Structure 1
Amino acid sequence: MTNSLSYYLTIAVIKLKGIKRSFGNDPIDYKKLRKEDVFLPNNSFFKRHTLNKYQVLSSTIIEVGTKKEADSLVLFIHGGAFVSGPAKHHWDAIKTIVKQTSHTVWLCRYPKAPEYDILQISKNIDALYSLALEKYSASKIYIIGDSVGGTLATALIQRLIALKKELPKKILLISPVMDASMSNPAIQSLEEIDPMLSIQGVVSAKKMCAGSMDLKAPIISPIYGSFDQFPSTLIFMAQHDIMYPDQKIALSKLLKAKVDVKSIEGKRMPHIWPLLPFMKEAKIALQEITKALKDS
């Protein structure tokens, strides 16, 4: 099946915006990336449906929903290379999820590198999940993570299992970054065709977050941790994403661990393709996300 016209238009816009150039620098210009941050959209939908704000350690949780008494929760852990975010496309996805499901959504604005390292960020994610367990049953909690949000979500699950804590109902990983070291030789062949990311800038951002820690430590590279006992998992992968080879390894480990896992692979798609606006393939993928949340 050929890609849609909206796909080619989206790729053209990505290239015109120079996103890949931003990820071609070492050190990465994180201040430039942060210019795209949207802390809370100033539109009527979010004015009507923002229910609460919570401060958890150094994080701000924005609660969005259509009713205050919803018994199910989606934790949305956004991407941004550990140095930026959330962006407009995260809020657009949250709007769709809230409108099409009965879930409340918590968008977690966690602290960023280089001001904070991965240990501090992970403590914030742990505290976020602990607060969720105080308010919701674990069987009613879903976690969505895109890009490094997928890193944080996956590493969180590994810590919960190690500590024998209650697991969420399902995790949904959108182009997750599974190995911060980017040392997989298969990545090199994707460098030229990835329209969005460049190895040099990605590794620079990960080093900012890791500090003195080994980039292959599971807390920042969960591919080196265990996938045994994972909850039901939905993973979106993209063929034109430098993260794709490591996502395939993670999928293989999930299957080997006999996890209830479903993968959706985007033909010629770029990084985080289900969240890209206007693209037909993204809209179809986002429907898969809402379906997975409703079917559980």
Structure 2
Amino acid sequence: MKHSFTYYLTLIIIKLKGLKQKFSQDPIDYESIRKEDVYKPNGKFFKKNITNRLQILNTSITEIGLNDSNKLILFIHGGAFISGPGKHHWDTVKSIVQSTDCTIWMCNYPKAPEFHISDISENIDAVFMKATEVFEPKNIILLGDSVGGTLITSLVQRLLQEEWQLPKKLLLISPVMDASFTNPDIDKIDSFDPMLSKKGLLSAKKMCAKDYHLKDPIISPIYGSFEGFPETILYAGERDITYPDQILAYKKAKKANVNIKLIEGENMPHIWPFLPIMKEAKMALNGLITKIKE
């Protein structure tokens, strides 16, 4: 596949930002990475279309919508459990809201190392329960990138265990399915992943896990069950160290008869549908929006 000029430009920008270097440190410098966080977006669009702000436990929710919709996208952002949301998350929110009739809840949940996976999961559960008080579960879509994908996958596993109603659909963008990073195929990709490194990600996961084993489904949903999952769409980029475990999770979900679709990005980096500038990212995001409308 021939890539666009903007693909190579994006790789240069990622390199100049030093993301690979930041994710190659142990312990990971979470305070430095958090400098890119955006908690309150700027601009006329958000000033006009932020309709509500909620606080649920330690999670701050920003509600964005063009109208009074009965459809909700619960957006659980990524950031290695230590940071976020970032500008690219808000840009994605804007694109989705402008192109659909959905309301979005952007969920700024508590982060490690101040909080741990049990605290974070408790918050995600509480947010979903609150959402079901306002929206019917059949009208709720869960959207998560990177560890946001981890959190919504493990949420659904808990919902199934407790026999709660499920959301309509899961949209997983480069989800981290195994926090232990023990898959040997990861080491083959680490050298040419432009953004992430196993060393730093493991450090972040250990900060978050605390007393939990890194292979516990609460932080590594690949070790949980996928039986009974709702429709799931999985975006996986080949130039991403989290890719090998995404493929294993996809195969496990298929074996469990989940209605799951895999969208692979040839030579694409982590969370590529959310990256700015790149032509391939815009195409992937447009495809994601189409899936939301279905």
Q: Kindly, what percent of the aligned residue pairs are identical?
A: 55
Corresponding residue number in structure 1 for 2:103: 104
Matched, 1:238 2:237: yes
What secondary structure sits across from 2:195 in the alignment?
coil
Once the two structures are superposed, residues 83-125 of structure 1 have per-residue CA deviations (whole angstroms, 9 ceiling, x without a partner) of 0000000000000000000000000000000000000000000
Matched, 1:34 2:34: yes
What secondary structure sits across from 2:216 in the alignment?
coil
TM norm structure 2: 0.99
1:285 is aligned with what amino acid?
A
Corresponding residue number in structure 2 for 1:84: 83
Deviation at 1:64, TM superposition (A): 0.2
**Equivalences for 1:59-98 in 2 at 5 Å?**
59-67=59-67, 69-98=68-97
Deviation at 1:227, TM superposition (A): 0.4
Cα root mean square deviation, aligned: 0.5
Corresponding residue number in structure 2 for 1:119: 118
Corresponding residue number in structure 2 for 1:200: 199
Corresponding residue number in structure 1 for 2:50: 50
2:289 is aligned with what amino acid?
T
1:25 is aligned with what amino acid?
Q
Corresponding residue number in structure 1 for 2:219: 220
* 1-structure distance, mates of 2:143, 2:10: 23
Deviation at 1:65, TM superposition (A): 0.3
* 2-structure distance, mates of 1:244, 1:157: 21
1:160 is aligned with what amino acid?
L
* 2-structure distance, mates of 1:103, 1:212: 38
Corresponding residue number in structure 2 for 1:178: 177
**Equivalences for 1:281-292 in 2 at 5 Å?**
281-292=280-291
* 1-structure distance, mates of 2:158, 2:230: 13
Corresponding residue number in structure 2 for 1:254: 253
Deviation at 1:248, TM superposition (A): 0.2
Corresponding residue number in structure 2 for 1:13: 13
Deviation at 1:142, TM superposition (A): 0.2
* 2-structure distance, mates of 1:25, 1:216: 22
Question: Gaps (5+ residues) in structure 2?
Answer: none
Provide runs of 4+ in structure 1 moved above 6 Å. none
Corresponding residue number in structure 1 for 2:129: 130
* 2-structure distance, mates of 1:53, 1:92: 18
What secondary structure sits across from 1:271 in the alignment?
coil
2:82 is aligned with what amino acid?
V
* 2-structure distance, mates of 1:172, 1:66: 21
* 1-structure distance, mates of 2:60, 2:88: 18
* 1-structure distance, mates of 2:114, 2:8: 37
* 1-structure distance, mates of 2:201, 2:51: 35
* 2-structure distance, mates of 1:263, 1:3: 20
Corresponding residue number in structure 1 for 2:25: 25
Deviation at 1:212, TM superposition (A): 1.9
What secondary structure sits across from 1:82 in the alignment?
coil
* 2-structure distance, mates of 1:270, 1:175: 9
* 2-structure distance, mates of 1:169, 1:264: 19
Deviation at 1:289, TM superposition (A): 1.0
* 1-structure distance, mates of 2:90, 2:245: 27
Once the two structures are superposed, residues 132-151 of structure 1 have per-residue CA deviations (whole angstroms, 9 ceiling, x without a partner) of 00000010000000000000
* 2-structure distance, mates of 1:12, 1:149: 26
Question: Gaps (5+ residues) in structure 1?
Answer: none
